[in-house]
Amino acid sequence: MTQLAGRGISDITGEAAECGLLGYGKAGQQSTGIHLRLRARAFAFAEGTGPADRRLLLVICELPLMSGGIVQEVVRRLPSEWTESNVLLTATHTHCGPGGYFHHALYNSNTGGFRPRTFAAIVDGITEAALAALDDLAPAELSLAHGELHDASANRSRRAFDRNPEHDRAHFPKGVDPLTTLLRIDRDGETTGALHFFPVHNTSMTNTNTLISSDNKGYAAYKWERLDNGADYLAPQAPALITAFAQTNAGDMSPNLNLRPGSGPTDNEYDNTRITGTRQQHSATALLAEASPLTGPLDHRITHIDLANTEVGPEYTGDGRAHRTGTPVGGAAALAGAWADGKGFAGFREGRNPLWDAVSQRVVYALSPALRDAHAPKALVLPAGPLNKLRPMVQERVPVQLLRIGRLYLIGIPGEVTIVAGLRLRRTVAAIVGADLDDVLVAGYSNGYFHYVTTPEEYDAQEYEGGSTLFGRWQLPALCQTAAALATALRDGRPVHPGTPEPLPAARPQRRTAAPEQPHPGHAYGDLLSFARIGDRATATFVAAHPANNLRRGDTYLTVERHNADDTWTRVADDGDWSTTFRWSRTGRTTSTATVTWTVPAATPPGSYRLRYHGDTTTTGPFSGTTEPFVLP
């Protein structure tokens, strides 16, 4: 059997100014520029001599969450042999990406509604990466390796974790899931692609940051591709090496090792992003030499289940009785936020919330035994199910997917799965298909989003994750039951019932009347207002136009250029580089500035350099501003 593999990469950065960042859900966390651009990295696999359905497409997207609307639109744009069953779209879960790309209203709460520009940037970029991977399909050697990484995550919900049975806790003696997995792609003896799996929240950047950032997993890919291998993301050809850092069961895994936002391993969020990303990248490169051949068939199954109303058999519930999941409701603990990564709303806390506990226990649960069986002891606060009837708030019918790449199995779950919940899903599938446990991974944040998945024991603690397990105590058993059906069908070569996908709600675009733009009095767009060099940092401020006039996807708002002997200039950095930041701010109702900052890397050669800003107006089109040259000794 000939193995084929292809790779693709594209920019998916949305609105860099005045768009709510999705992840932390803070109303005041509006985008003000770019720290690191967001990218989609696609990996296609096919059996060269096999039937048309023996092919898979994985796209790892540097997004906060994956939305069902994105999935539907991307699949619609792909060739007909690519379907929701053999395409997996997953998010790295950065908390500093523009929102507004969901059709369900809850996730657009800090963006003023649906944002067509950001939605289009994401869909266009993912589609470009996917089609590039399909065009790149060629004979390749696949290999797989596993390892452990112990200094990049901490359990932010230890009280809930400790409620699990000893045989589950014993699998994670330090309370973290250290498993790393590398899928390596080689052509003619050269590594051309790498897909690394490791569970850790992408929350090294805090909820006070307002710059778009791909966070620690994005830095890991950036370091491997650009810093170590010289990739130029603005070049017309794809990088020689494309790498991606995907999530698994990261629901209770925090990168903040001191269990405080922005704390651990240092007290600087930028340093933490770089260090935690570097540790993941070093973990991946260490596995290159250990990878063994990955051969065998490709296969896939998908079904849709109504998580608001699924009967779970006694063999999965743990108490010998059948139960039913419940309509989606957020708990008081969900509004408290995960304190290790960023507090939520005032007046709520993880664990006990006496007022909401009392109302739920004495009134709601007393009136509805079915609701009590599904949701107790959750303190009910956000009744998303009833609200869905008025305006779709959250997804209820969700896809569950199982992919096979040789001996590697990926369980696509559209939620944030804790490590023990993930362990139970993995054990369920591994036992049926006869796989080694390490070769079965939960691909969290995939194909949609329905919040958290905890074990029933963790659910009872009602920490943040339990309060955010919307469909109640039996949600994980329902998913295990579904995963078992998929695994059995895949093992036996049988189809599965696809279920009934949830119709996509109508998008409600943001209502906004843009103020007319003007340059500062006495200035033109792009004029330099100030320039300073302090130590290794150069900063320039220019007369700007709104970044939403042109998202410059696949382009840049800034360049750092070095002067050449022939009197030309060469770009050495752009707004997708770690060494730069692009900041935009209003200075009045109609005027704004753009600030370009370059922190000179240690290995920068001496010479003459300049900073440039690139913008667009809605009337006259593109413009640029440039500093005077400055010399680095």
Show which residues are catalytic.
Answer: 254
Q: How far apart are CA 195 and CA 441, in angstroms?
A: 13
Q: How far apart are CA 292 and CA 581, in angstroms?
A: 40
Neighbours of 571 (CB within 10 A): 14
Written as six digits, the tokens of 8 are 């693709």
Is 427 in a helix, a strand, or coil?
Answer: helix
Q: Which residues pair with 45 in a beta bridge?
A: 5, 56
Distance of CA 262 to the CA centre of its chain: 19
Strands 96-98 and 558-563: unpaired
Q: Residue 491 is which amino acid?
A: R
Phi, psi of 51 (to 5 degrees): -65, 165
Strands 190-197 and 242-246: parallel
Q: How far apart are CA 458 and CA 453, in angstroms?
A: 10
Among the residues of 399-474, which ranges form H helices?
419-433, 456-461, 464-467
Q: How far apart are CA 33 and CA 18, in angstroms?
A: 9
Is 69 in a helix, a strand, or coil?
Answer: helix
Distance of CA 411 to the CA centre of its chain: 16
Question: If residue 541 lies in a helix (H) or strand (E), which one and from where to where?
Answer: strand 537-544
Q: How far apart are CA 285 and CA 279, in angstroms?
A: 10
Residues 6 or more apart whose Cβ sits within 8 Å of residue 384: 106, 327, 328, 329, 330, 393, 394, 470
Written as six digits, the tokens of 77 are 């744009």
Burial classification of residue 14, based on how many CB atoms lie within 10 Å of its CB (0-12 exposed, 13-18 middle, 19 or more buried): buried
Are the CB atoms for 334 and 464 separated by under 8 Å? Answer: yes
Compute and round to an integer the Cα radius of gyration of the chain: 24
Report which DSSP code applies to 446: B
Half-sphere exposure in the Cβ direction for 70 (13 Å, CA): 37
Burial classification of residue 292, based on how many CB atoms lie within 10 Å of its CB (0-12 exposed, 13-18 middle, 19 or more buried): exposed
Q: Which residue has the tokens 């001996």?
A: 407
